[in-house]
Structure 1
C-alpha cells in the first residue's frame, strides 16, 4: 500500500526492482494512492438505488474492507447469499489527491479499478464518471472535472451489479447455486482488486506493449497515448540491464498509436546473446524508461520492464528460447479461504509464486481466473511460466459469445507484455460450448476465439479448448484423472499409445480432437491429472477428490507413482498436476488451504522432477 505517493522519482524508477505493491507493474509512475481499506457499503436487493439517487447522498449503514469481496470473511461483511447489486462509498481527501501526484491545472486525475465483478458504475460528488462491464479486467475513469475545489472531501460512490444466476457472464469457478458444490466455489461480487488514484499530464502514456525479436536482436514497442498529440511530440525509449544501457531510440509521435523498434547491438553476438534471455532458471528482466517529449521538454515519463524470450511449438515440443522445454506445471485456483478470489495481501502473491517454485514446478496454470497483475510480476521476477486462461461462461448465447470475446480481448491487452505468460487458453473442457461435438455454431465460436487470440498475439501458442474436443490448436492438451499409475504409464507411453488415444474416445468419454485434419506436430501435454484427496486433519464431510489417500505414506505413494508414470512417457511435452491447494470442498491439493504442504516441499519437488 502506498499512502504518501513516494516510490522514487520518474527519472530513477526501475520497474524490475519494485516491491510488488504497484497495481500496474509494467507501467509505473512515481506517485499513486491506494484506496484500499474501509468503505461504506450497502446491498441493493430491490435495485432501488438508482431511482433513489443513492449516488448523490449515500447513507450506507455498513462498512466493507476493499478490495475483499462481500462474500468473504476478510471483507468484514461475510455474506455469501444472493445479492445482485452492491453499493460502495468512500471519501477522497486532499491528502489522497496529493498522494496521487496531483499536477494542478495542467493534469488529470485517474481513478483505476483492478477488477469489479461484473458490471460497474461510478459517481463523484453525484456526477456520473462512467462504467465498465467485465468482472476480471481493469478500467480507469477520469475524475478531474467532477472534483469540487470548494469541498474538503470528494464523495466517491460505486455501484456493482453481478447477477448470481446469469451464466452467460464469464464467471469461471463461481457457483450459481446457493452453496458451493462439486468443483464450484463461492461467488465474488463487486470490487476484488485494487482501487487507486493516479495523476497524469494532459497528454500522457496510456499503455505499453513489448514484443521481443531474438533473431532480429531487437525489441518492438507499441505505445498508446491518451489522445492524439499536438505537433512535435516524440517518444524516447531506453532499455537497460543492471545499469548498462542496451539500446535507445527516439521516434516521432504522429498519432495516438506510436510504434518503435529498439535495436539491441549486444544481442547480435551469436555466441553471447543467451546471457540476457529470460527463463525460469534465470529470470533476467530488462528495465525500460519511456519518456514522452513535447518539443524538448519531458511531458510524461513511465518505467516498465520486459523479458527477452521466445515461445513456440514445433516437432512435438514446446520451445522456450528455441529449445525444447519440458513443462512441470501445477493447477492453481488462486483462491484463499478468507479472501476468496482476492489475495489476502500483496505479500501473499509473492509467496504463492515462490511456493510453486519451491515445490519443483517451473509453470502454473491459473485456472479460470485472470490473476492480479502483481502475481504476474512475481512470476516474471522469480521465473515461473504461466498459462493465461479466460474464465468461462456456462451457456452458449449471443450474450455469452459477445461478453467473452470483449473481455478476453481486454485480458490479452492487459497481459501481453509479461514474459511469464507463455500460453493462452480461451476455453476449458467445453464449458460454455458443452455440445461442441455436435453444434456447428459452437465449433465456429471456438475457432473464432482461437483466431482472435492469434490475431491479437501471434507470439504465443493458443490452446483451442483445454482438455478435450480440440479444433485448431497449437497444443493438444488432455485431462485425465485415472488413479492407476499402470494405466497412465500405458496410455501415454509412446507414439502408438497416442494414436490409439486420439483415434478413440478419450478420458471422461470425450474425443480429444474433433477435426479430421492431420496432426501438424503439435506437442501433447497432460494438463490436468492427479487430484488425490488427502487431509492431514479430519476432513470436512463434503471434502472430495478424484481418488483418495488414507495416510501420509499412502498420499506420498500415490502422488509419486502417478508422477513417475507420467514422467516416463516418451511423447508428453509437459504436465499440469491438480492441484496446488485444497480449495473449499476440494481436498485434493498438494498443500492445505493455508498453503502448508502436506508432504515436505523437497519431497514434492523430487516427485515433480524439479529437484535431485
Structure 2
C-alpha cells in the first residue's frame, strides 16, 4: 500500500514534553466481522492482519488507504515498535487521541488499556509489558454503527450518508504516540485565569509521588520571552494549588488580555525536582481571559461582546473527522477569521486539540459541544456522562473555549417536552458541567426546548428578511415564534433575562462546481447567494435583542451544500465580500 500523508505534529500542544515518539503511519489491519479475534488470540500476534491502514485515519476515509464505507463494527490494528535507549529508567506511557467507540489495547499480549468513548483521549503506562527489542502493539476497536443511543454526533446509522448525517468513523482517528516520564512526574495541570485580581490559579497533579521524597515544583511564567513570574513550592500531596500573580497588564488597550482581536498568550514552564534532581519538565500556555454574563449581557473581559460565529462540523473530504494535516486545521481557523467571524461553534464533535491550539494562537472563540446520541436510554446516560466529563477535563485550559454545549436540539432527549426523566438528565448535564467548570456559560439544550440555561440559544432557518426583523424585535416575539415548531423553553422553565443568541440560521444552499446536495434555502447564482446571505445576517445584526449569531455553515459537508466554502475549502463568494456582510459593512 502506498504511504499517505501522516499527522506528524505534537498531538497535545497544551502539555508539551521534549521527548516523544509518533506511532502514526502504516499499521497492519483486519476486519473481524465474525468477532473471532480474541477467541483466536489475535491479541497475541497470531492474527493474519492481511490489510494495511494509515493511522490515524479511519478505514472509511480515503487517506486510510482503504476507503470502505460498509459496516465493519469490529476492527483490529497491529504494529511493532522499539524503545530508544535514552528512555531507560523512565516509565513509558502510550497515548491515544481518540478511538471510536470502544477499544482494548495489548502490548506483547498483555492487556494494558480499555476505554469507552469515541471522542476523548486515554493513556496507559505500558512499562511492565515491554520487552527488549521489538514490541508488539495490538488494538481492537468496536463500534456500534446502528445503535442510536450511542454518542455519535453526525455519524449516520445507515450505510449511505443522507440528510444531516455523514459517513461513520470507526476505530483510531486521532494520533497514537509514546512518551517517557519519570516515576514521579507531572500528571496534568488545571489553569484558571482571574483578570479581576490579576492572577492565575494553578493546580498541578503529580503522578508517582513517594511519601519519603522531597519534591518541589517550579512555575515560570513568561510573555514573549520576558520573565513575568517565578515561584517554587513544596509538593506534599498529589494535587497542589498555587495562586500566581500576573501584574504586568491593565485594561487600557496596552494590556495582555486574550481576545480574538488580540490573542495574547503567556508561556508557563513547570519543572519538577525530586530529591534535588530535575525529573520532569512540561511547557504549556494560558490566556488571561474572562467570559461572563452581567445584567443579561454577554461580556468578554468585562466588556459587552458580540459573538459572530460560524457552525463548523470539522469534516474533511479525504479524512472525514480527521484533518489531513495540521495546516488544514490552522487554515480553517484562518478562513473563519478572514470572513469576519470571531468564533466557531464546533458542531457535534469534540475537536482535535490541534484545532483549539490554533484558535488559541490566532484568536478565535470556540463553543465546545458534545457528540450526542439520537435517542434516550439509561445506558446512554452513563455513556454520555462519562465521555463529557473527559471532554471538559481535556479542554478546560483552552483560552479560546468560551461555552459548553452538552446537548443540541434535544438529541438523545427527544421527548424532553413531556418526559420528566429526560428533563432531569438534561438538567443534570447542565449542573454537572457547571460543577466541573464554573468559569464558562453552559447551554443546556442548544436550539430549542431549553431547561435551566445560561444563554437562550435559538435555531431559526427562516430566510425572509422581514420575518426575521420582526421576530427578533422583542424577547416576547422571539420566544413565542417557535421556529421548527418547537418551544424555545420547556414549560416550567421561564425566561429569566438570559442573553438571546441565534446559534443556527442561514443554511443557504449554493452549488459551486459539480458537487450536488441540499440546504435550507437555495441560491441560483453568486448574486442571489449574496442577496440571500445579507437577508439573513443583516436583520440579526441590526436587532438589539440578539447578542450573537452562528451562521450555518463554514463548509459544504458530503450531501450538504449550504457552506460558505465548498467541501474542499474554496470560497463561494470572495472572502472580503462575505466579511463585509458578517461585519455589517
Sort the TM-score into its range (normalised by shorter chain): over 0.9
Deviations 1:242-296 (A, max 9, x none): 12221222222121112111112334xx566961100000101100000111133
The reply to whether residue 575 of structure 1 matches residue 549 of structure 2 is: yes
- C-alpha distance in structure 2 between counterparts of 1:271 and 1:309, whole Å: 12
Q: Which moved more, 1:451-460 or 1:221-230?
A: 221-230
Shift of 1:318: 1.2
Shift of 1:21: 2.1
1:441 is matched with: 421
1:52 is matched with: 40
For structure 1, the residue ranges without an aligned partner over 5 or more in a row are 1-18
2:499 is matched with: 523
For structure 2, the residue ranges without an aligned partner over 5 or more in a row are 1-6
- C-alpha distance in structure 2 between counterparts of 1:172 and 1:217, whole Å: 39
Do the aligned partners of residues 466 and 179 (structure 1) sit closer, same or farther apart at CA in structure 2, a change above 3 Å counting? same
CA contact (8 A) 1:20 1:374 kept: no
2:289 is matched with: 309
The reply to whether residue 507 of structure 1 matches residue 491 of structure 2 is: no
Q: Pick the aligned partner of 2:87 from 87, 103, 118.
A: 103
1:209 is matched with: 190
2:562 is matched with: 588
SS in 1 for 2:383: helix
2:214 is matched with: 232
CA contact (8 A) 2:489 2:495 kept: no
1:599 is matched with: 573
2:3 is matched with: none
Shift of 1:416: 0.1
Shift of 1:520: 3.3
Q: Give the alignment of 1:252-271 within 5 angstroms.
A: 252-267=234-249
Q: Pick the aligned partner of 1:375 from 338, 355, 367.
A: 355
Shift of 1:20: 9.5
Q: Pick the aligned partner of 1:219 from 200, 203, 219.
A: 200
Shift of 1:49: 0.2
1:537 is matched with: 513
- C-alpha distance in structure 2 between counterparts of 1:528 and 1:363, whole Å: 13
SS in 1 for 2:158: coil
TM-score calculated relative to the size of structure 1: 0.92
- C-alpha distance in structure 2 between counterparts of 1:521 and 1:33, whole Å: 51
Shift of 1:195: 0.4
The reply to whether residue 182 of structure 1 matches residue 163 of structure 2 is: yes
Q: Give the alignment of 1:52-91 within 5 angstroms.
A: 52-57=40-45, 58-91=47-80
Q: Report how many residues are paired.
A: 577
- C-alpha distance in structure 2 between counterparts of 1:160 and 1:146, whole Å: 20
CA contact (8 A) 1:536 1:552 kept: no
Q: Give the alignment of 1:397-416 within 5 angstroms.
A: 397-416=377-396
Q: Give the alignment of 1:154-165 within 5 angstroms.
A: 154-165=135-146
CA contact (8 A) 1:530 1:562 kept: yes
CA contact (8 A) 2:93 2:125 kept: yes
CA contact (8 A) 1:386 1:420 kept: yes
- C-alpha distance in structure 2 between counterparts of 1:74 and 1:586, whole Å: 21
Do the aligned partners of residues 539 and 339 (structure 1) sit closer, same or farther apart at CA in structure 2, a change above 3 Å counting? closer
CA contact (8 A) 1:229 1:256 kept: no
- C-alpha distance in structure 2 between counterparts of 1:361 and 1:48, whole Å: 50
The reply to whether residue 561 of structure 1 matches residue 535 of structure 2 is: yes
Q: Give the alignment of 1:259-408 within 5 angstroms.
A: 259-267=241-249, 275-408=255-388
- C-alpha distance in structure 2 between counterparts of 1:264 and 1:564, whole Å: 41
Q: Pick the aligned partner of 2:129 from 139, 146, 165.
A: 146
